[in-house]
Amino acid sequence: MSPTEDIVRFFHAVDDRDWAAVRSGLADPLDTDYTSLFGGEPERIGADALVDRWRALLPGFDGTQHFLGPIVVTPTGADAARADCDVRGYHHLDGATWMVAGRYTLTLRRTGGGWLVGGIVLRTTYQDGDRTLTEKATDRAAA
């Protein structure tokens, strides 16, 4: 498959809560940077730990949808690439929505099974809606 197809499949798996597919799409460990959204510091994290983090939040929403595109893939080595794409991430809960707009930069690694996400950087452009839905979703997912 192409890197673009693997990226789309990965985010579909996130929105479908298909955690096995999400995990199989990640390199281990990987680098993440969500500082433009949540503050803190970029981190290197194990793939299982990142999936666990998402599992503790995303199922608490009634639904999420990540719109990506266009996805621009730039080779950075024989089995490496960088993908840049705009994103609109919609998070819906109890009739309210929190939307995050920005750009992802994904570091990709080619393996025998396809392309794995080895790094995720989100550069948030703006947010709209109720950001407190993350706390509500976390509480709901834990219950």
Number of Cβ within 10 Å of residue 46's Cβ equals: 12
Q: State in words which class domain 3-142 has.
A: alpha beta
Using a cut of 0.75, tell me whether the model's pTM lies above it: yes
The predicted-structure confidence for 66-82, as pLDDT tens digits, reads as follows: 999 999 999 999 999 99
pLDDT tops 90 at residue 113:
no
Both ends of the chain: CA-CA distance in Å? 38
Please check the confidence at residue 1 and state whether its pLDDT lies above 90. no
Report the DSSP pairing between strands 43-45 and 63-77: unpaired
Gap between the Cα atoms of 42 and 30, Å rounded: 11
